Structure 1
Amino acid sequence: MHPIAETISFKPLAASDLAMLHEWLHRPHVRQWWGNPGTYAEVERDYLPYTTNDSTTRGYIVLLENEPVGFIQSYVVMGSGDGWWERETDPGARGIDQFLCNPNQLGQGLGSAMVHAFVDYLLQDPVVSKVQADPSP
């Protein structure tokens, strides 16, 4: 495990995080990959469902030494369509998407450590059999 990964934790996304998430989604380095997030109401519409237990997508705030540094989400791949794994038949497969919120933290290994730590986190659930990520960027 990457040494930084030991200081990374994941807080389930809450309604109280949406203003911060909205601001992050408008940062140029995030918009480049995540597109235009729209208004706060649109972010609330799109991400508030990720805070419930019945959603197949779960959102998390990434914490580095208890400071927010990014966002990561996991989702049940089977049936999600919209991607290169449309034919996935394993109900335990999870997909992930993520970003770091601060451009000055890019290119330093934090993103890789975040992904490693999150995969370890997801695999603690015995239902999860594998974790897949889109290769871009």
Structure 2
Amino acid sequence: MLSEPTHRYRFMPLEPDDLHLISEWLAEPHVAEWWGADSKEEFDAIVAHMDSISVEPFIIMLGERPIGYMQTYDPHLEDDHPYQDQPTGTLGLDQFIGEPTLINDGHGSRLIDEFVSLLFEEGVPRVILDPDPANARAIRAYTKAGFIPFDTRTTVYGPALIMARDNPDEMRP
């Protein structure tokens, strides 16, 4: 797990005024590579998440600067979700850093660690991630943030390396 972060991140609920950023970020090559070439389809899905009961979308802030997108989802609230075999209360996490100048600078692992710690404080027992097995940068960041691979699957979303981080407070008798 990471030591005390040098940067403090905030996670603000996604608002309609933020959608222009999402559109710009989805068009960035480093985001489109893993979030899909059809940025319009991804954008529409994110807009739909704003009114979803199973997905909670956020803007990642570094100080006062918006730098990326993050969403949690409850696989148990979606019909036929491929991760419904996870323990009740598990949340999935998807994210990207939209600002290209902040890639490969350690922000990914630090902001994920910070966000997951907040989820654990709320009592979430487990958080899972499902990077494409070819996405070495994401896998390194997730490993640094304390996630452990436990399965590989091919889902409707494509190939996935399933990684988990369990809440240590939920594991105590």
The reply to whether residue 119 of structure 1 matches residue 116 of structure 2 is: yes
Secondary structure of 2:6's aligned partner: helix
How high is the sequence identity, in percent, across the aligned residues?
A: 29
CA contact (8 A) 1:61 1:68 kept: yes
Deviations 1:46-74 (A, max 9, x none): 2223223x521111100011211111111
1:47 maps to: 46
Whose RCO is larger (CA < 8 A, sep 6+)?
1
| Cα distance in structure 1, aligned partners of 2:10 and 2:117 | 11
TM (normalized to structure 2)? 0.66
CA contact (8 A) 2:92 2:128 kept: yes
TM (normalized to structure 1)? 0.82
Quick one: which amino acid aligns to residue 124 of structure 1? E
| Number of residue pairs the alignment of both structures matches | 130
Deviations 1:7-63 (A, max 9, x none): 111001111111110110011000000002443x872x32223223x5211111000
Contiguous gaps of at least 5 residues in structure 2: 136-173
Contiguous gaps of at least 5 residues in structure 1: none
CA contact (8 A) 1:71 1:100 kept: yes
1:3 maps to: 5
Larger Rg computed on CA atoms: 2
Quick one: which amino acid aligns to residue 48 of structure 2? P
Shift of 1:102: 1.8
**Bigger mean CA offset, 25-34 vs 113-122:** 113-122
Quick one: which amino acid aligns to residue 36 of structure 2? G
Shift of 1:107: 1.4
Quick one: which amino acid aligns to residue 122 of structure 2? D
Secondary structure of 2:19's aligned partner: helix
After superposition, the Cα gap between the structure-2 partners of 1:34 and 1:131, relative to the gap in structure 1 and judged at 3 Å, is same
| Alignment match of 1:64 (pick from 57, 62, 65) | 62
CA contact (8 A) 1:76 1:93 kept: yes
Runs of 4+ in 1 over 6 A off after TM superposition: none
1:1-137, aligned counterparts within 5 Å? 1-5=3-7, 7-39=8-40, 43=43, 45-52=44-51, 54-78=52-76, 80=78, 81=80, 83=82, 85-88=83-86, 90-126=87-123, 128-136=124-132, 137=135
